[in-house]
Structure 1
Amino acid sequence: MVLCEDLECGVCFQRYSRSERVPRMLFCHHTFCTTCLEKIAVERSNMMNIRCPMCRQVSCVRGGLSLQEALWVNSRLWDGISEDQDQEEEGLRPSPKPHRPKLHLPAFLKKLSFPRQPQESIVPGCNRQMKSWRRLLGDETC
């Protein structure tokens, strides 16, 4: 089962896609989109180092290989990405409004009323309360 939160990159919070934001798995098994991994990658001595934003483990990619060649696609997330979603992102088809299911409550819950809690005022309302505040503050001059 793939949760909705799983379908977005943990760095840029964009939804994964099959074209630009392909979910790639680091050696520590954390997944991020290709675009973010390319920004995070640091090239050192013919090696590409990627420090995981989650656990800070470094994944090293041999020089000459691109991230697309070296890192696996997370197939669990890949299967959760619909092909229609890519078309919507490319602007070929307008995306419909997401359908929200209507919440159906039992009849007895609709008839219940919950009392509101009275809110305390910060400033005391009457003179007697004001005197007790002054006593608490240690101001006995008034």
Structure 2
Amino acid sequence: HNLNQGLVAVEKGVPPSRDSRKLDCIICFCAFNLAERLPRKLYCGHTFCQACLRRLDTILNEQMWIPCPQCRQNTPLPRGGATALDLDLAAFLGVKADLDSQRSSPQQGGRELGNQLELKPSFGKQPIIEQPQATWNHGGLADYWYLDY
């Protein structure tokens, strides 16, 4: 019955509610965002925030895997780690739509929007960032490591 209500709302041009779009990680219960908590999808189709997925990797038969907390299906950890997993495009666009709608109103829940961090894609020339020597693999391409300062 809830699905039918959502379809009627979409037909009438009413955007789906935040709850119906599942824009929160079910591991940490934090809202997805466009920075550290990007919605990343495992091979099984379940979505979790990037920050939680970074902590779930495990070694099985000498290969790194991320076991899904919902169904336990293993996803091979990409070379770039959890940050290289596919984005859940629907959740990502939902987060972006929320940010865009918040931008159109001066305040959201008494909180100024200027304090929120948003990353935007850049199609221009990218800056060259020198990496510490410890991040380079010998004889191959570099694996980038993110250091917390």
**Corresponding residue to 1:41 among 46, 57, 61:** 57
Unpaired runs of at least 5, structure 1: 89-93, 99-142
Unpaired runs of at least 5, structure 2: 1-14, 111-149
TM-score by structure 2 length? 0.51
**Corresponding residue to 1:56 among 66, 72, 76:** 72
Give the distance between the partners of 1:13 and 1:97, measured in 2 at CA.
Answer: 19
Give the distance between the partners of 2:74 and 2:98, measured in 1 at CA.
Answer: 35
Give the distance between the partners of 1:84 and 1:61, measured in 2 at CA.
Answer: 30
1:96 aligns with 2:108: yes
Give the distance between the partners of 2:17 and 2:47, measured in 1 at CA.
Answer: 14
TM-superposed CA distance for 1:4, in Å, is 2.4
TM-superposed CA distance for 1:60, in Å, is 1.3
Structure 1 contact 16–81 (Cα < 8 Å) conserved = yes
Q: Name the counterpart of 1:23.
A: 39
Matched length: 90
TM-superposed CA distance for 1:42, in Å, is 1.4
Aligned identity (percent) is: 31
Q: Name the counterpart of 2:81.
A: 66
TM-superposed CA distance for 1:41, in Å, is 1.1
Whichever of the two has the greater Rg, that structure is: 1
Check 1:21–1:60 CA distance in 2 against 1; reply closer, same or farther (3 A cut): same
Q: Name the counterpart of 2:116.
A: none
Residue type of the partner of 2:109?
Answer: K
